Structure 1
């Protein structure tokens, strides 16, 4: 993301046997295929179905776009450079290669943070006004502007250098050792630790409220249906956040450890460590569509529609309703309470009305 530490040496000492390169090629190509195609399907589900165009889903749309973009533009290039130790793609793409991943990761994690704050406001402060569609778009634009500001130094200082045996792409910091390490500490705090702390606090409060908020004696189908729907959505978003955190943790630890101990970069085994850590970080772009499909009824229905050409995929009338229905008549509520959008009274019921994404 900030330029591979493996390619700062003047000679290319990291030559791998063909079988190992082939295995890593399959691993990284899998990320590219699943992440790009899966996130494009998520974007289609949200944009093509009016019912899915909610405030929170716009943030999920932004998350899907940033993940698909990073997978498409950086995954294989990162792999080729880390494997061969030689830059084949020119100086302009060198700047973009170092700049865009920080931008995309910033947009991804702050989209998750915006969802967490939105859920917090909807559940803890249900009577306060929610974000409008216009305000949501302004927030997304601000996220990308801040991401560009944070990543700009990488674009500004990135350059290529032709050595006797190869060409390298690197970030030519004014003070290489100090600036590189300090920048990565800043990125780790702003793009990893800070948003995770915010999401941890908000989802803890939301979880305590949802799992401890049942009213004794309130046994209405609508109440319990809406409460279950809210709980499922919070569970899904917690899985998304935890997956992101686990995927990127080794990457940040790797750069901090190698920044503190420069001798580690001269070990030949460090190349395999870096490739594994990079693969895990890049793989974070492909898990969200799988999580949505497994844990959310409407996204699952959308994926069925996208893959309806497969002979073993059957799209039922219920799946069509999940994406197309608006408000159900109360008489239909008992049979399909998970699709209910009926408003309820009372402050607690207001806190759990209108399931975010469906069950």
Structure 2
């Protein structure tokens, strides 16, 4: 499990950061999510399992503080990265003409998420102590008051589980109703159905990610709320075995996302094939190679424009960079045009009075284009 989580998430980060076509707003949040999952699997999973199994702390006071501090940090960063993706999908689909986050703004949001994660987890570091007894050494959280532990656990559950899941539930419900029950605002082009299918795939993938996370971490949060409410629970005969089962279920969430991406997204699947191309049974096709090729357009541009000139039988097409297409002209003839901007993206307006042109805007970003 640890190996799958660590190497799977490292490959996800490599796929996004090493290929310009994958460097989009949503995918930057996926990098943050992958980093938190890989870090938690590498630094906490095995150590926590050894400690829970032997009930003996072997790793010193400094790592004791880190061991109690980092999981809350990583969980917070993970779920708020998913929340940011949900909001990004909401803005892209429900309000497609509004400005989207730039790459710089996205990095600022990710940095803010991690800062808040450190702040929320700091009490775990502050109150961690090593307790040496005649029989064993323990790594403990020693709270200054009887009610502080319960208060903190409630805050953690609210801010690291309930609130972000509520936000994601609302946004994905609205997005789902829009995608499956109505029309996307601004999308009436010939490529409407193709884009609709692509956006549905991405929303399905992210819903699977969120539901998996929620299921894996629910018993974990319930366990700590119950033990904070009634300390006698910690003295139950099989409480150690119960905790280990709950802990492994929670930690297993770190390995599922790379598997989900690979199964449900063709570009990530192509990236995983490239990463494992040294395996004799992995074949990388020319199509897989093209999936990750960058286009010549700036990946932050967010809209596509179809300008069809009927009088001159010419067509100029500017696709979203993530769509994997390049601009092309059919029956090249001069079309007089001028630049204007919408939603931070360039579009061309025909100024030839004899030319009958059609303009259609279709915002498209991230892994949703088009897998």
TM-score category by the smaller chain? Answer: 0.7 to 0.9
Q: Could you say which residue in structure 2 is the equivalent of 1:212? A: 181
Matched, 1:271 2:283: no
Q: Distance in 2 between matches of 1:157 and 1:92?
A: 12
Q: 2:276 aligns with which of 281, 296, 307?
A: 307
Over the residues paired in the alignment, what is the CA RMSD in angstroms?
2.5
8 Å CA contact retained: 1:225, 1:338: no
Equivalent position of 2:362 in the other structure: 350
Separation in structure 2 between the aligned mates of residue 44 and residue 354 of structure 1, nearest angstrom: 16
Deviation by residue 1:125-157 (Cα, 9 ceiling, x = unmatched): 111111011101100110011001101111111
- 1:224 corresponds to which of 193, 204, 223: 193
Q: How far off its partner does 1:187 sit?
A: 0.3
Q: Do residues 199 (structure 1) and 161 (structure 2) align?
A: no
Q: How do residues 114-129 of structure 1 correspond to structure 2 at under 5 angstroms?
A: 114-129=84-99
Deviates more, 1:177-186 or 1:123-132: 177-186
Alignment length (residue pairs): 321
Q: Please state whether the residue corresponding to 2:281 is helix, strand or coil.
A: coil
Could you tell which deviates more after superposition, 253-262 or 88-97? 253-262
Contact kept in structure 1, 2:323 and 2:369, CA below 8 Å:
no
Instruction: Tell me how far apart the structure 2 counterparts of residues 332 and 296 of structure 1 sit (CA, whole Å).
Output: 26
- 1:247-262 equivalences in 2 (<5 Å): 247-262=216-231
- How far did 1:260 drift? 2.2
Give the deviation of 1:180 after TM superposition.
1.3
1:63 matches 2:36: no
Which residue of 58, 67, 75 corresponds with 1:105? 75
- Pairs within 5 Å for 1:233-248: 233-248=202-217
Q: Is the 8 A contact 1:39 1:286 kept in 2?
A: yes
Residues 133-190 of structure 1 deviation map (CA, whole Å, 9 limit, x = unaligned): 1101100110011001101111111110100100101111101x32112111110000
Paired with 1:196 and 1:151, the residues of 2 have a C-alpha distance of 19
Q: Tell me, yes or no, if the aligned pair for 2:25 and 2:365 is still in contact at 8 Å.
A: no
> CA offsets per residue over residues 274-313 of structure 1, 9 Å max, x none?
0000000001100000000000010000000001111111
- TM-score, normalised to structure 1's length? 0.84
Name the structure 1 match of 2:52: 82
- Distance, in Å, in 1 between the alignment partners of 2:188 and 2:92 is 22
Question: 1:167 aligns to what?
Answer: 137
Between the aligned partners of 2:126 and 2:365, the Cα distance in structure 1 is 48
The higher radius of gyration belongs to 2
Alpha carbons 1:229, 1:355 under 8 Å: kept: no
1: CA distance between counterparts of 2:70 and 2:369? 30
TM-score by length of 2: 0.81
Distance 1:297 1:256, change over 3 A: same
> Is the contact between residue 226 and residue 338 of structure 1 (CA under 8 Å) also seen in structure 2?
no
Residue aligned with 2:57, SS: coil
- The answer on 1:38 being equivalent to 2:40 is no
Alpha-carbon distance between aligned partners in 2 of 1:103 and 1:261, rounded to the nearest angstrom: 25
- Identify the structure with the greater strand proportion: 2
Distance 2:75 2:153 in 1: 13
**Residues 298 and 357 in structure 1, CA contact (< 8 A), matched pair in contact too:** no
Q: Which has the higher helix share?
A: 1
Q: What is the distance in 2 between the residues matched to 1:201 and 1:168? A: 42
Q: Partner of 1:293 in structure 2?
A: 262
